[in-house]
Amino acid sequence: MIGRTEKFCEAADPNPDSKREAFMNIFENMDLGLQQLQEMCRGFRQSSQKELIATFADDFFERIEDCVNNRAWSNTRYIYLFLVPTMQASDAELARLNALKDRLEGYTEAQKKEGTDRLIKWVRESIQEVEEKKASRAISKQYQDTHDEITGMLKPQAD
């Protein structure tokens, strides 16, 4: 149990160098046990570190296809779920995910590898997640704007 907690804490460290080391361990350390890998993935994705995590987007998109094609599903599912850049729910994240999906879907049967179809499914789910987050945030903003407007009208006017 202590080893798993240690891995979580290593990956949750907000120091950029420590975060980079955790990212590289997740993708490259084949000696990590499944539970240690899971804890590193969970520790990596801290909502308070959205901006720092966003700096790993390029590396994620460069590495994820090979990772999914060359490692076990039990490992890659956690790596994908916890490291896919969707925390900002931004247009840029959506564009990157759509570009990856389009590239993967453009493969011929001969170009596809073991994990291609699985990755396509995961990317589609991420696209849906980002679109739903964006829509929810727009509704919340509209509600807040309306609330602020009404609240402003109800305040007593100074004479």
Can you give the pLDDT at residue 157? 67
Q: What is the pLDDT of residue 159?
A: 58
**How far apart are alpha carbons 22 and 16 in whole angstroms?**
10
Residue 86 token pair = 């969707």
Q: How far apart are CA 28 and CA 60, in angstroms?
A: 12
Can you tell me which residue has the tokens 């807040």?
144
Residue 126 lies in a domain: yes
Compute the distance between CA of residue 29 and CA of residue 75 in angstroms, rounded to an integer.
Answer: 11
- Inter-residue contact 78 to 38 (CB < 8 Å): yes
pLDDT of residue 8: 96
Query: What is the total count of domains within the chain?
Result: 1
Two tokens at 154? Answer: 């109800």
Look up the pTM and report it: 0.85
Closest CA to 2 of 42, 44, 35: 35
Residue 41 within a domain:
yes
The pLDDT averaged over each successive group of 10 residues in the chain (159 residues) is 87 97 96 95 96 96 97 95 94 96 97 97 97 92 85 70
What is the dihedral angle through the alpha carbons of 89, 124, 83, 63, rounded to the nearest 10 degrees? -120
Range of the domain at 16: 2-154
What pLDDT score was predicted for residue 2? 72
pLDDT of residue 152: 76
